[in-house]
Amino acid sequence: MLLSPAHISGSQILEDVSQLKFEFYRAENASNLTQEIAFLFTNSGKRFRPALVYLFGEVFGIDRSLLETYAKAVEVTHTASLIHDDVIDESVERRKSPTLNASFTNTQAILAGDYLLAHVIGELLKTSTPEITFDLTDAIKNLADGEWLQAKLKTQGSASWKELEEVARKKTGSLMKWSCLAPAKLSQQPRDVQELCAQMGDDIGLFFQMLDDVNDFNTKSGKPFGADIINGQQNFVTSHLLSHSPQFAQELRHFKQTGEMTILSDIEKSRRVVVEKSIELEKTLNERFATLTNSESSHLIKVFAKMLEKVREAFSPS
């Protein structure tokens, strides 16, 4: 059922994603939009989603040259979503560089994000199957749906663990899911394998969000402590806290107003619970990935485990 890939290392995948080239120039453009957005792809982070495309492509024996279009598509879509996020959050800096909305205007930033999304669909239509292209449009819709749900939860001032999971799977998991699923569909894997890949992508998104929420209460993260509380937004840590001790809602409001945290020990207890849940999920992800491979491809199991380990390290600065 599954093909045995040639041995590939994590460093080879990193090299593949680092060498991706992004071209947006169109002679018929009247503005300099494409030049202005080009810098976003010279400082685009770890490119975890393209790495997933290459890794799952290796699992299914796909030639790496055929994966480039899909790796670029998910990175461009992710970047477009970040541009829109920065407008929503009124962010002025990302990865130590000014955001588009800070450098220009909210209107121009939204237009840049829309341009990138249109570019991605156009590129996929040239080479991909209609089903895989449709899956990406579905992922984009889920991104918007998750953002909308998050805004609703922020307005109502409360969020259950289940609701936060739904936001995480929609906002963060949707593109992870596509990154894992596209290679499976491209290589025409059986339905059960495709479903496993989709579930793994969803859960990787949940894993990311759990670690991000834990990091919100890390004094060494380099970000404001309790930023989500300050922004009026619940996360997995505060949701767990309030589900067990609803009386602490007043203390969280006090922190938002004054910056004084009076329940640090209780926050830490809930933080540790979320950490443990993320560790359990990481173990499950590694076990699921192992079922996709065979005895000749154990090196890919180690590569995947190392990728998740690096994610944990990135969210847990010391």
What whole-number distance in Å separates Cα of residue 139 and Cα of residue 49? 13
pTM of this structure: 0.92
Task: Look at residues 113, 42, 32 and name the one whose alpha carbon lies nearest to residue 79.
Answer: 113
Q: What average pLDDT does the segment 153-167 reach?
A: 93
Task: Look at residues 52, 55, 201, 34 and name the one whose alpha carbon lies nearest to residue 111.
Answer: 34
Name the pLDDT band for 191 (thresholds 50, 70, 90): very high
pLDDT for residue 72 is more than 50: yes
Task: Look at residues 34, 41, 38, 28 and name the one whose alpha carbon lies nearest to residue 115.
Answer: 34
Question: Which pLDDT does position 176 carry in this prediction?
Answer: 98
CATH superfamily of 10-314: Farnesyl Diphosphate Synthase (1.10.600.10)
**Strand 97-98 and strand 93-94: pairing?**
antiparallel
Torsion of CA 17, 21, 22, 23, to 10 degrees: -170
pLDDT tens digit string along 231-283? Answer: 899 999 999 999 999 999 999 999 999 999 999 999 999 999 999 999 999 99
Question: Which pLDDT does position 130 carry in this prediction?
Answer: 95
What are the sequence ranges of the domains in the chain?
10-314
Those residues whose C-beta lies under 8 Å from the C-beta of residue 105, and which sit 6 or more positions away, are none
Name the pLDDT band for 3 (thresholds 50, 70, 90): very low
Question: Which pLDDT does position 25 carry in this prediction?
Answer: 74
Amino acid found at 58 = E
pLDDT for residue 1 is more than 60: no
What whole-number distance in Å separates Cα of residue 91 and Cα of residue 89? 5
